[in-house]
């Protein structure tokens, strides 16, 4: 095997690879044995014709593609590894010579990771973030707990509904007297004040009584997802069937006993404070790191290849499809609902994808420049955290982790190590 490497423009590398005739012949022979049964040559039982006869009948090139696919991948990977080429795309192959008794010669053009020119990344200034816990924060959390533990009771006859009540309604919407798709429902449950309906709708329901019917006039927002309805005036005929009221528990020691492991409200408040402090510390750390990364990004020069951006967006689309599936939707349904084409969604992701790739490339460059390291201990800690998150035994999970899993964790941990280095050297 012989290979010549040529750097090209636009972060591409051209490989000219020669594979000896003997090795290609081995591939031809394997290709023949794999496909012998599909060859039907007159005078021979299917799969029993000798290779020379098959090649004469079908043409020698009948085995070329299979033989190429047998011998090239291993050689290509070897060339990539030996020349420290970090490919980010599949190769564009062009065969220049192929044939029985000849060396196999082909070129492979592949996009590689771009060169990163780092600016200043040590001693950068980062504003210290601090989010102290207030009494209002604790009270808000307690009120949320009370809401989750509220009793839902049906309002008595004659009671008017208020914000915070859940109402059961029928509604039938129309524009200029013409009903529109999705504008009608029966026994619909709506929490007043939630802002989940068209602006102005919930406000007009407030004050209605059970059995009351009312025409509500609303205007769809200009940026409404359905372009057919956006900005248009509509009338909804509404009938109120039922009012459900939340009966909140009193927040005292008994409440603390009911909703937590604590015997007193003061102990519960202290626990809430500790949890909020932990979350605030995480928030402050994230924002400080984000500020540092953005500062360095502004001073970093890198030409991100288009294929890397497209691959990143592909992953975002897959993630979107996965999240939609949990809601019983497909990507096509989502696009129809939002009035968008796939190209529109990909365009929306482009800026985020480009920044994420540039950030990873920048952190990789810092990792290499500072000769940083991901230790085995760090890899095992990450694996143990993963195990705990999924309710698995950490020790057993780490012990059974494959080399592939460990390599993945090691690679992903490079970014964290680089960020830690940046923050340790920030002012």
Which CATH fold topology does 259-424 show?
A: Trigger factor, domain 2 (1.10.3120)
* Model confidence band, residue 224 (pLDDT cutoffs 50, 70, 90): confident
Measured between alpha carbons, how far is 65 from 35 in angstroms, rounded to an integer?
12
> What are 337's two structure tokens?
């609902």
| pLDDT tens per residue across span 29-87 | 999 999 888 888 898 888 889 999 988 999 989 999 999 999 999 999 999 999 999 99
Q: Where are the domains of the chain?
A: 2-111, 151-247, 259-424
Measured between alpha carbons, how far is 119 from 130 in angstroms, rounded to an integer?
28
Q: How large is the average pLDDT for residues 118-136?
A: 94
pLDDT of 223 > 90? The answer is: no
Answer yes or no: are the C-beta atoms of 220 and 229 closer than 8 Å.
yes
Q: What does the pLDDT read at residue 182?
A: 86
Q: What does the pLDDT read at residue 363?
A: 97
Answer yes or no: are the C-beta atoms of 173 and 235 closer than 8 Å.
yes
Nearest C-alpha neighbor of 5 from the set 83, 74, 78:
83
Q: What does the pLDDT read at residue 324?
A: 93
Q: How large is the average pLDDT for residues 178-201?
A: 92
Measured between alpha carbons, how far is 327 from 320 in angstroms, rounded to an integer?
11
Nearest C-alpha neighbor of 369 from the set 309, 298, 296, 308:
296
> What are 137's two structure tokens?
């924060």
Homologous superfamily of domain range 2-111: Trigger factor ribosome-binding domain (3.30.70.1050)
| pLDDT tens per residue across span 376-404 | 999 999 999 999 989 899 999 999 999 99
The strand pairing partners of 243, in sequence order, are 167
Residue bearing tokens 């967006």: 313
* Whether the domain at 2-111 and the domain at 151-247 fall into the same CATH topology: no
> What are 233's two structure tokens?
């005036």
**Residue 376 Cα to chain centre, angstroms:** 27
Residue with more model confidence, 10 or 283: 283
Cα separations (Å) of 26 from 23, 295, 410?
A: 5, 55, 38
Mean residue pLDDT across the chain: 93
Which CATH fold topology does 151-247 show?
A: Chitinase A; domain 3 (3.10.50)
Q: What does the pLDDT read at residue 281?
A: 96
In the chain, % of residues over pLDDT 90: 83
> What are 308's two structure tokens?
């890397």
Q: How large is the average pLDDT for residues 291-298?
A: 96
């Amino acid at each position: 095997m012989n290979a010549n490497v040529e750097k090209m423009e636009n972060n591409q590398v051209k490989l000219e690879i020669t594979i000896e005739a003997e090795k290609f012949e081995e591939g031809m022979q394997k290709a023949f044995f794999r496909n012998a049964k599909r060859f039907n040559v007159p005078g021979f039982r299917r799969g029993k014709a000798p290779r020379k006869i098959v090649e004469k009948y079908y043409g020698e090139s009948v085995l070329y593609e299979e033989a190429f696919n047998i011998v090239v991948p291993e050689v290509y990977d070897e060339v990539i590894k030996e020349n420290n080429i970090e490919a980010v795309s599949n190769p564009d192959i062009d065969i220049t010579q192929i044939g029985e008794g000849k060396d196999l010669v082909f070129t492979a053009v592949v996009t590689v990771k771009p060169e990163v020119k780092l600016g200043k990344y040590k001693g950068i200034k980062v504003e210290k973030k601090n989010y102290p816990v207030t009494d209002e924060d604790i009270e808000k959390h307690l009120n949320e707990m009370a809401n989750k533990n509220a009793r839902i009771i049906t309002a008595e006859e004659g009671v008017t509904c208020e914000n915070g009540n859940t109402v059961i309604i029928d509604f039938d919407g129309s524009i200029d007297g013409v009903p529109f798709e999705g504008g009608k429902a029966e026994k619909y449950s709506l929490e007043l004040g939630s802002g989940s309906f068209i602006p102005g709708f919930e406000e007009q329901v407030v004050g209605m009584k059970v059995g009351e019917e009312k025409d509500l006039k609303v205007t769809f927002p200009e940026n409404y997802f359905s372009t057919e309805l956006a900005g248009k005036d509509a009338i909804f005929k509404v009938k109120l069937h039922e009012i459900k009221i939340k009966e909140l528990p009193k927040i005292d020691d008994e409440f603390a006993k009911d909703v937590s492991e604590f015997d007193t409200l003061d102990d519960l408040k202290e626990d809430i404070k500790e949890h909020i402090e932990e979350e605030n510390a995480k928030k402050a750390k994230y924002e400080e790191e984000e500020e540092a990364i953005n500062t360095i990004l502004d001073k970093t020069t890198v030409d991100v290849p288009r294929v890397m951006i497209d691959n990143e967006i592909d992953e975002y689309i897959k993630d979107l499809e996965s999240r939609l599936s949990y809601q019983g939707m497909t990507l096509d349904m989502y696009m129809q609902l939002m009035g968008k084409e796939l190209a529109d969604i990909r365009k929306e992701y482009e800026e985020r994808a480009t920044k994420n790739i540039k950030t990873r490339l920048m952190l990789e460059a810092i990792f290499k420049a500072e000769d940083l390291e991901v230790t085995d201990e760090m890899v095992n800690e990450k694996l143990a955290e993963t195990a705990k998150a999924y309710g698995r035994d950490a020790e057993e999970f780490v012990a059974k982790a494959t080399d592939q899993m460990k390599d993945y964790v090691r690679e992903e941990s490079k970014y964290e190590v680089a960020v830690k280095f940046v923050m340790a050297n920030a002012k």
